[in-house]
A and B are shown apart, each in its own frame.
Chain A
Amino acid sequence: MSLDIQKIRNDFPILNQQIYNKPLVYFDNGATTQKPQVVIDEEVKIYSKENSNIHRGVHYLSEQLTKRHEDARKVVRKFINAKHDHEVIFTSGTTESINTIAFSFGEKYVNEGDEIIISTLEHHANIVPWQMLCERKKAVLKVIPINEKGELLLDEYQKLISSKTKIVAVNQVSNALGTVNDVKTIIEIAHQNKIPVLIDGAQSVQHGEVDVQDLDCDFYVFSGHKVYGPNGIGVLYGKEKWLNEMPPYMTGGEMIKKVTFEKTTFNELPFKFEAGTPNYVSAIALATAINYIQELGLENIAAYEKELLEYGTEKLESIDGLRIIGTAENKVSVISFNLDNIHHYDAGMVIDKMGIAVRTGHHCAEPLMDRFNIEGTIRASFSFYNTKEEIDKLYEAILTVKQMFS
C-alpha cells in the first residue's frame, strides 16, 4: 500500500507554516520528529480530563490513568515484540536508558580489567556512559572500526571479543550517517561467546519494524520524541533475566516494596527501574504515536522513505563538489554531506534562511567525525511526511550556497 502523503501532512500541524516567508521544509527528523495531531490531542485530553498520579490512589481518576499507563506499556511491548510487559521500562529517553544499563549492569557484572565493546558509529550517549563505567571499574573500552562507507567491520569486531568482554553496545542505525548495522549478526557473534548485547534503537524504530525476540538482543533502547511521540519519554527493554539480576539505578518512591530505616526491599519489574512519579502523560501519548505509525504501516513507511533516500542521494550527488559521508549499502533516509571548500556552518546558515531545517555539526558523534577527518557535516534526515519536491528545494538551496561561497 502506498501512503497518501498529502493526507499525512495534514496530520502534522507544524508542517503547515512559513519560515522566513517560505514554506517550512523539515529535514531534521534525525534530531526529533514532529507530532501528529492525535498525539498533541492525547496530551491535552489527559491534562484536561484525566490527570491523576498513577499507581497510588484508590480513586477513580488514578485507577483509570494507571490502567492507561499499563496499556501503553502493552502497546510498546507489541511494537518491539517483547515477550513480557514487565520487560518494558519507561525512561526519559535513550540517554537515560543507556545510563541506567551502564550503571546497573556495570555495578553487577563489570570488574577491573573487563572489556566493553562499542563502535565508531556511536552517538555520545552510547559512548560516555560506558567510558564513565570503565573509569569507575578500571575496565577497558574497545571500539569496532568502520570502513570508508561508514559500515562496521565485523571481522574486526570478532577479533575484539575476548574472555573479558562483558557487554557489547552498538546502535542499529547511525544517527550521523544513517548506516543500518547488521545487529543480528553482531548479537549472534556475541551470544556464541555468552556476551549480552545492548542495541541503541534511537534512529531505527521510526524507520522499520523491530522485533527484539527475533534479534535476541538483551537490551533495546529508544526515545519517544524520535518516533513521533512526545518529549521526555523513552524505553528500556531488557530481558527479564538481566533486569531481575541488576540492581536499581535510581531509588525513591514507586520502586520499593517495603522501606524501614534499617532496610529497603525493591518492587518487582518493571517498577524496580521506575523510581518516582513516572511520566505517564508522555507514556500514554507515546502509545498513541506508535498506534499512529502502525496504522500507516512500518513497511509502507520504510518503502516510501527508501524512495526519498534514493531520490535525494541521486539529486544531491549530481552537485559538483558535494560529497556524501556515509555510503553504506544499507541505509535509512539520512544524507550527511559536505561541500568542497565550504564550511558546513556557512551552508547551514544559508539553507536555514531558505526555510529548510537541516542539522549541521558533529551530530554528537565526534569520534566518528575524527574518523573521517572532518569537523562536521550537513545532515538532511527525511521522514514519511517529506516529499520529493522538498528535496528539490534543498537541491536549489545547495546551489545557492555554492554560488554565494565560491
Chain B
Amino acid sequence: MTLNEQQDEIIEEFSVFDDWMDKYNYLIELSKDLPEIDPKYKTQQYLIEGCQSKVWLFAEMDGDTIKFYADSDAIITKGIAALLVRVLSNQKPADILNNELYFLDKIGLQQNLSPTRSNGLLAMVKQMKLYAIAYNAKMGN
C-alpha cells in the first residue's frame, strides 16, 4: 500500500466516529496493536522527550524501505504513534520525504502535533523524516 493509500484508509476508519471518546477508545486499541519495541531501543538514545509524554523511536532499513518502531509512556500518544508508524513504515525514504502527512488533520488529531503540545509527537515526525533523509542519502539518491 502506498503512503497516501495508508493515510486514506485511516481517514476512512476514523470517519465512523462522531464522538471524541470513540476516537480515543480506538487510539487506545491501536496502542495495544503497536508491535513492541525491542527494550534495547527504549533507552535515552532513542528517547524523544516531550514536556507531557515521552516517545521512543527506532528505525532500520529493510530492503529499500524503512521500518519504524515506536513506543510511548502515554497511551493516547502511543495510539497516534501507531498511526504514524502505520503510514510511514515500510515506505521508501523518498516517498516519506515527498508526501505530505495530511491524515492527522483529517481525523481531527492535528492539535496533537502542535509545537506547544509538546507530547513528543511533533519531534517524532521530524525524527522520522530525518531517518528518511539519512537513509535516502545512504542509498545514493
**Chain A residues within 8 Å of B, Cβ to Cβ:** 20, 343-346, 348-350, 353, 360-362, 375-376, 400, 404-405
With A349-B76, A375-B73, A405-B75 already in contact, the answer to whether A343 and B53 are too (CB < 8 A) is: yes
Query: Which of chain A's residues has its CB closest to B73's CB?
Result: A343
CB pair A353–B75 under 8 Å, yes or no, is no
CB pair B52–A404 under 8 Å, yes or no, is no
B28: CB under 8 A from chain A? yes
With A343-B73, A345-B74 already in contact, the answer to whether A362 and B24 are too (CB < 8 A) is: no
Query: In the complex, what distance in Å separates the CA atom of A404 from the CA atom of B119?
Result: 20
CB pair B24–A345 under 8 Å, yes or no, is no
Question: Using an 8 Å CB-CB cutoff, how does the interface string of B57-89 with A read, 1 for contact, 0 for none?
Answer: 000000000000000011111000000000000
Which of B21, B28, B77 is within 8 Å of A405, CB to CB?
B28
* CB within 8 Å of A: which B84-131 residues: 119
Q: How many residues of B contact A (CB 8 A)?
A: 15
Query: In the complex, what distance in Å separates the CA atom of A105 from the CA atom of B53?
Result: 38
Residues of chain B with a CB closer than 8 A to A20's CB? 20
B25: CB under 8 A from chain A? yes
B1: CB under 8 A from chain A? no
B16: CB under 8 A from chain A? no
Query: In the complex, what distance in Å separates the CA atom of A343 from the CA atom of B76?
Result: 9
Residues of chain A with a CB closer than 8 A to B75's CB? 343, 346, 405
Query: In the complex, what distance in Å separates the CA atom of A405 from the CA atom of B25?
Result: 9
Query: In the complex, what distance in Å separates the CA atom of A360 from the CA atom of B52?
Result: 7
| Residue of B28, B53, B119 with most partner-chain A CB within 10 A | B53
User: How far, in Å, is B71 (CB) from chain A's closest CB?
Assistant: 13
User: How far, in Å, is A353 (CB) from chain B's closest CB?
Assistant: 4
**Chain B residues within 8 Å of A, Cβ to Cβ:** 20-21, 24-25, 28, 51-54, 73-77, 119
User: How far, in Å, is A32 (CB) from chain B's closest CB?
Assistant: 15
Residues of chain B with a CB closer than 8 A to A405's CB? 28, 75
CB pair B53–A404 under 8 Å, yes or no, is no
Which of B24, B54, B119 is within 8 Å of A353, CB to CB?
B24
Residues of chain A with a CB closer than 8 A to B73's CB? 343, 375
Q: Which 9 A-B pairs have the closest CB atoms?
A: A343-B74, A353-B20, A345-B74, A345-B53, A345-B52, A346-B75, A346-B74, A346-B76, A349-B76
CB pair B24–A404 under 8 Å, yes or no, is yes
Residues of chain B with a CB closer than 8 A to A361's CB? 51-52
Q: List 11 A-B contacts (CB under 8 A).
A: A20-B20, A343-B75, A345-B74, A345-B76, A346-B75, A346-B77, A349-B24, A350-B21, A400-B21, A404-B24, A405-B28
User: How far, in Å, is B26 (CB) from chain A's closest CB?
Assistant: 11
CB pair A404–B21 under 8 Å, yes or no, is yes
CB pair B20–A345 under 8 Å, yes or no, is no
User: How far, in Å, is B14 (CB) from chain A's closest CB?
Assistant: 15
User: How far, in Å, is B20 (CB) from chain A's closest CB?
Assistant: 4
Which of A343, A353, A375 is within 8 Å of B21, CB to CB?
A353
